[in-house]
Structure 1
Amino acid sequence: MKHELTLYCEKNKLSELRTFLDRVLNASQLSDINKNQLILAVEEVCANLIIHSHDCNPRDFIKLKVNQLDQSIIFEIMDSGEAFNMTEYNEPDLKEVIKKRRKGGLGIKLVRKIMDTIEFESSENQNICRLIKQLKSK
Structure 2
Amino acid sequence: MKTKKLIVKSSTENLSKIRDFISENASKAGFSKDDIDNMILAVDEACTNVIKHAYKYSPDGDIIIEIKQDKSAFTITIEDNGISFDPDIVPSPDLQKYYREHRVGGLGMYLMKTLMDEVKYNSVPGRFNRVSLTKKIKAT
TM-score range, shorter chain: over 0.9
Structure 2 counterpart of 1:70: 71
1:27-106 alignment, distance < 5 Å? 27-106=28-107
Q: For 1:36 and 1:100, how far apart are their aligned partners in 2?
A: 27
- Normalising by structure 1, report the TM-score: 0.92
Q: For 2:41 and 2:86, how far apart are their aligned partners in 1?
A: 19
- How many matched pairs? 138
Q: Match of 1:82, SS?
A: coil
Letter in structure 2 aligned against 1:110: L
Contact in 1 for aligned 2:54/2:80 (Cα 8 Å): no
Per the TM alignment, residue 86 of structure 1 is displaced from its structure 2 partner at its CA by 2.8
Contact in 2 for aligned 1:11/1:51 (Cα 8 Å): no
Q: For 2:62 and 2:5, how far apart are their aligned partners in 1?
A: 13
Runs of 4+ in 1 over 4 A off after TM superposition: none
Letter in structure 2 aligned against 1:72: A
Query: How big is the alpha-carbon RMSD for the aligned residues of Structure 1 and Structure 2?
Result: 1.4
Letter in structure 2 aligned against 1:13: N
Per the TM alignment, residue 126 of structure 1 is displaced from its structure 2 partner at its CA by 1.0
Per the TM alignment, residue 117 of structure 1 is displaced from its structure 2 partner at its CA by 1.4
Structure 2 counterpart of 1:128: 130
- Give structure 1 stretches of 5+ with no counterpart: none
| Identity across matched positions, percent | 28
Per the TM alignment, residue 37 of structure 1 is displaced from its structure 2 partner at its CA by 0.8
- Normalising by structure 2, report the TM-score: 0.91
Per the TM alignment, residue 87 of structure 1 is displaced from its structure 2 partner at its CA by 4.8
Structure 1 counterpart of 2:16: 15
